[in-house]
Every structure is written in structure tokens, then in C-alpha cells.
Amino acid sequence: MGHAIHDELANRIGTLAMVRWDELPPTLVETALAEGEGRLAAGGALAVTTGVFTGRSVKDKFIVRDAVTEPHVWWDNSQSMAPEAFERLLADMLASTAARTLHGQHLLAGADARQQLRVSVITETAWHALFIRNVLIRPETPGEGADVTILHLPSFTADPARHGSRTGTVIALDMARKLVLIAGTAYAGEIKKSVFSLFNFHAPFADTLPMHCSANVGRDGDVALFFGLSGTGKTTLSNDPERLLIGDDEHGWTADGVFNLEGGCYAKTVKLSPTAEPQIHRATQSFGTVLENLELDDALVPLYDDISLTENTRAAYPLETLPAVAEGGVGGKPRTVVFLTADAFGVLPPIARLTPEQAVFHFLSGYTAKVAGTERGITEPTATFSACFGAPFMPLHPTVYGRLLEERLQASGARIYLLNTGWTGGAYGVGKRIDIATTRRLLNAALSGELEHAETRIEPLFGMAVPLRVEGVSPRALDPRANWADVTAYDAAASKLQDLFAANYRKFDAVQVAAE
């Protein structure tokens, strides 16, 4: 099939609508302002709002169930759409573009040329075109033709009876033909994550591990990966003035090394601090950056602490907006792999060394904890497990990615650490959050190799190797049990967390036994 389906689709759209291809940021910003799509913030960023949808619509995402996807997709975690329903949705969305002006971008996904996808995004608003241009890789010379086509029409309302959707909102992925249809939502993250979902389906068949992680590299070429769910410090800790950022969210790991899938960042901006995160803060003030759902004051300055629209405020900007970026978006084999968690139970140590087998366990678990007050009805810490630290974007069964990770870890000999950025001395509400200075000191010790030969103790419930001493950190701080006033209460909390891990992991045990 090759590029034929994408060329045909582009021609069909071109006969119906006028598509303005590959406009540059000044033109896109000018158009967005003229059309009333947003406001120009102080510093030059374009501030937009997304209406009802300020985050991903997980329950409205569908994968076409056909001969290609049927035997491979993790259907327990994915909703299916019949091929005929997808075709009706495509036909109706195309028909709705008649006599309209659309905006198209020819972009790339994958900094490794051997793994690269040519992506065409066609959308009805200039600001969405600017967003995806910021986030994906911008080719030096945009060319026609595509491996992936995304048609994004926020104003189109799907019909559940006709299109097989749940509501008027739909994100439909045809994995075999690499086509994506997005309707009924203006949240820009749906475009970005659709590219990632396509990559995550196809990459393992090319012996590439897709990863929802950030990555950076030291001055001597030592690559580090940072896996973690929202709120664990993934973006903050990977933006290090002493290291070069490879990427902040989506990567691939081949037998040769890692590469960024993207060419930009989509950073959370809630409570963004110019002191704690100066690089990101400066990027949000740059011309062409897209500020999503950020309120502005009377002087058009972004209000980072204002969550009246959503806590999920975002900024999308090209990687080159940052001062310290790895050239080409690639790096060698990782020397250090870090799993981040914000343990609100106050049980896990601030840092621990993992074996490759333990790393796969934590990778498949994808653990962090929500704290009281973050969501209605949550009155105590609640464990959150998201397989591979990104279950909504992983179409294949997690064990597929887990086996690839174990192979890569064994071949690379990477050091592996669990870094807890959560609570100590008690659960949330009793204990206190581990301070950022301690976390950075422990991370630096891990990245430098300082911890590799440190004397350790084996944590009794999870079997992790916990260092006894780290220069600049109190030995007591390394032992969470010693920081609880009531050690009996600690033991009970630790046992509860262990049970939650075990219950979550049983679904993977059954699959792994069947595969052996």
C-alpha cells in the first residue's frame, strides 16, 4: 500500500477544501489572531483555550479492529471500531470540509532516520497547526507524501449510531493504514498522542522499544532515561543545566541507542516557577509558543498559578527554544535508567538500586499515588498503576514492551534506580514531601556512578538495594521506616502497598505464563 492511501486522501481533501500547507509560525500566529482563535501574550506566545475538553478523552479513543490489529492489540485496554464505521466517519468528515480553508503541515516523527515517519496533519485552525509544528520534527524542506495522515476537525460532531463512537467526540486510529481521525475535541494533546499511539503499535515489530519517558545526556555522552507518571518530576528533573535534553516525553530505544520521537515539548505549566524551572519558564515567553488554557492578566502576562480553566495548563514549544539540547535528538545506549514515583504512602525509600528483573516489574506496574484533595472523594493516598508509565498510549499488551525493555537493559548494562519524589516520615497529611535538593543530590549520585559501589541494605518487602550512605544526605533520610514516629504504622502501610502492587501485577503473571 505504501504512500498511496495518504496521497489519495490528500488529493480528496484538496478537491473539497483549500489546504494552506506548511505555513511558518508568523503566518500561523497572524491567522490565529485574525480568526479570533487566541490572544498574543506578553513575550509573544499565543494563548488559546480548548473549550469543554481540557485533557484527553480516553473513553472516546478507538482502534479499528481488522486482520492487522486483531491478534496484537491489548483489547482489554482498547476500544474497537469496525472498519465500516471508520469509513463512514472518514467520508462524513471529508464531506464537512467542502469549501473550507484548512491548515496542513508536513512533519516528521522520529529523530532516527531509520525509524522516521512522515506525518501529514490537516486541521481546521491555525493554532492547532502551529501546535503540532512546534511538537513534531520540522523537516528542513517540507515534502509531499506521508506515512501517517491525521485529519483533525474539532467542530465536527460524530454520530454514535452511524460512526460507532461513544459520543460526539471521537479519536479513531486505523493502525494498518496509519490514518487518524479526531473530531469533537479541541484539546491539542490528542493529535500528539495519536502519533505516539501509532508508533507504539508498530515500533516493537521493528525491534524498537517505544517509551513514555524523558531523556538527557551528560557532557561525556552518558544517556539517562526518566520514566514517570504526571507529578513525579519527569520534566523538571530531566531539564538539567549540566546535561543536554534529548526530549521530554516520547522516545524509542533501538539496539544502537535512543532517539526522540518529537521535535518539541508539551510541558505542564501549573505553578511554573522561574526559579525552579527557568528554562521552561523562558520557553513559555517565546514567540510562537502555544499556551493552552493559561489565563492572562491585564498586561497579558501568563498566570501560572491560575487553574480556573484546568490544572492541566500546557505550553508547546520547539526544542530549540531551550538553551541546552542534544544535537539531532539522539543518544547512545542509556547508562542510567530512572523510574520516578511520588509515593504518597510514605513507604518507599528515596532511592534504590533495581535489578533488570525488578525494573521490568516496576515498568509494568507504572506506580505513583494520588493524594487526598486532588480528586473529589479521595480522602487518603490512592495507588495509581499505569502499565509502562503510559497505558492509554500502549496498544500492545504491556508484556510485549516489558520483554523488550529487559532485553535492552541486559544488553546495555544500564544502572537502574527507583527514585521516590513523594513523602517520607508518614503518609500524605502526616509526613512531608522529600525536598527537591535531596532528590537532585540523589539523582546526581546515581547519574555520576557514585551509587554503583555504595554499601546497601536489602529492603525486606520489595527486595530493592537501598544505599546506606550518600554524601550530603542524612543516613536517616535514606531509611523511610526510621522516619516514622510509629514503626508499627509504617509496617502496616508498607504491607498494604505491597499487596496493592501484587494484586495489580497478577494480570501480567497470567499472560507471561501463557507465553512461556
- Residues marked as catalytic: 56, 193, 212, 230, 234-235, 249, 314
Backbone phi and psi for residue 420, each to the nearest 5 degrees, phi listed first: -95, 115
Contact by Cβ (8 Å): 306, 386: no
Cα-based distances in Å from 54 to 158, 207, 371, 378, 510: 19, 35, 21, 21, 37
| N-term to C-term CA, the chain | 35
How far is Cα 146 from Cα 143, in angstroms, rounded to an integer? 9
Which residues lie across from 353 on neighbouring strands? 417, 465
Secondary structure of 152-206 as H, E, C letters = EECCCCCCHHHHCCCCCCEEEEECCCCEEEEECCCCCHHHHHHHHHHHHHHHHHH
Helix (H, G, I), strand (E, B) or coil at 484: coil
Q: Which position has the grid cell 500566529?
A: 29
Backbone phi and psi for residue 136, each to the nearest 5 degrees, phi listed first: -85, 180
Which residues lie across from 369 on neighbouring strands? 383
Contact by Cβ (8 Å): 55, 71: no
Cα-based distances in Å from 505 to 78, 203, 366, 422: 19, 24, 10, 22
How far is Cα 345 from Cα 141, in angstroms, rounded to an integer? 51
CB atoms within 10 A of CB 515: 10
What value, to the nearest 5°, has the Cα angle with vertex 486 and ends 481 and 491?
A: 55
Helix (H, G, I), strand (E, B) or coil at 347: coil
How far is Cα 126 from Cα 153, in angstroms, rounded to an integer? 12
What value, to the nearest 5°, has the Cα angle with vertex 434 and ends 339 and 381?
A: 75
R_g (Cα) of the chain, nearest Å: 23
How far is Cα 153 from Cα 124, in angstroms, rounded to an integer? 6
Strands 314-318 and 223-227, sheet pairing: unpaired
**Which residues neighbour 490 within 8 Å (Cβ) at sequence distance 6 or greater?**
346, 347, 480, 481, 484
Contact by Cβ (8 Å): 111, 137: yes
